[in-house]
Amino acid sequence: MINVIGVNKTYIDSGTEALKDVSLSLNSGRIIGLLGPNGAGKSTLIRVLSTILKFEEGELTIDGLSIKENPLEVRKKIAVALQYSSVETWLSVYENLIVYGKFYGYCGNELNERIEKVIELFQLQEYVNTRANELSGGYRKRLQLARCFLSDSRILILDEPTAGLDPIIKDKLYGLLRTYSREGKLVILATQLLDEIEKVCDEVVIINKGKIIIHDTVDEVKELFGGTKKITLFFEEVDEEIDKKIKDIAKEYEIEYLIDEEKIILIATNKIANRLCRKIFEDLDPQRIDVNNESIEGIFIRLFSTNEKRS
Ligand SMILES: Nc1ncnc2c1ncn2[C@@H]1O[C@H](COP(=O)(O)OP(=O)(O)O)[C@@H](O)[C@H]1O
Ligand SMILES: [Mg+2]
């Protein structure tokens, strides 16, 4: 459905190479999470996919249509909610929906019915006559999303759509996305939230510094990077002897550790965690050991620090 081949994008003013040789193949009926830290290139890729941003090298086709040759036709196939509000600020909520609906070729009763439906979906009833620039951030986001669901586009591209949304609308959105994918539509969702990926996505594309590091199913990625424990050892003081012993243990078990005054923090896979804890008790005799499943944030951080070491 979407094919990206060797796309490069450099912002001329800053000289930033925001996308480096990006290739991707995305199929219908899937929800794709685009994950990466700040500045990774998510929004750049989203804008390129949305026909909004031109790129220098490479090729991008949507349903077989080249984005370079047929930008307007491609644009009509997709529904987009950018990271930063792209609504018409001087128009009311209702007028925004009219303009967008007409762009997709709806008119008359059909247009009105579609507008009513999305107003209800995103609970915008109170604000239909309010100018977009008078809406709060969360309501602007709702308007952006309402516009997306106005059309029957088979491809939905959303850049951090839940930032600023309240939990009720967020949940509603997740439900809508699942329905969309069951209907065979393709959803691309840029996010920094790992739990969002786990909750709604089928596949994850991880991007860092403009490069795609991983594209796989969510289950595979979890398998690869999840399943770890954070082990914290507490001492009165981490003296030289403890320091030396932990170094040896870390070497033997091939794990990373961090010394923080009277604490040592280790990250170990579930597989070796038990053995490691026994060894620590025997060799180091800490005052206390805490063992926790590593947090979602922890996995995220580790993902990118590992990547930096590799590159
Ligand atoms: N309009 C722009 N002009 C110049 N540089 C930009 C522009 N937009 C983004 N960048 C740079 O490109 C890189 C990727 O940014 P972006 O795609 O917004 O990342 P993300 O959405 O993952 O946070 C960053 O280094 C950012 O500073
Ligand atoms: Mg962004």
Instruction: State the closest ligand 1 atom to the C-alpha of 210, by its place in the atom list counted from 1.
Output: 14
Question: What pLDDT sits at residue 298?
Answer: 61
- Regions of the chain where pLDDT drops below 70: 223-226, 294-311
Rg over alpha carbons for the chain, rounded to the nearest Å, is 24
Closest by alpha carbon to 43, among 161, 133, 167? Answer: 161
Q: Token pair 């100018």 is at which residue?
A: 131
Question: What pLDDT sits at residue 68?
Answer: 92
* 41 CA → ligand 1 middle, Å: 6
pLDDT digits (tens, 9 = 90+) for 224-275: 666 778 899 999 988 999 999 999 999 999 888 888 778 998 888 888 888 9
**Nearest bound ligand to the CA of residue 35:** 1
What is the pTM assigned to this prediction? 0.78
For residues 3 and 53, what is the distance between their CA atoms, to the nearest angstrom? 16
Question: What pLDDT sits at residue 99?
Answer: 95
Q: What is the largest CA-CA distance in the chain?
A: 80
Closest by alpha carbon to 41, among 78, 93, 86, 4? Answer: 4
Instruction: State the closest ligand 1 atom to the C-alpha of 44, by its place in the atom list counted from 1.
Output: 17
For residues 67 and 54, what is the distance between their CA atoms, to the nearest angstrom? 9
Domains of the chain are 2-224 (3.40.50.300), 227-293 (3.30.70.260)
Question: What pLDDT sits at residue 259?
Answer: 86
Ligand 1, pocket-test mutation among 10, 16, 47, most atoms within 8 A of CB: 16
Instruction: State the closest ligand 1 atom to the C-alpha of 14, by its place in the atom list counted from 1.
Output: 4
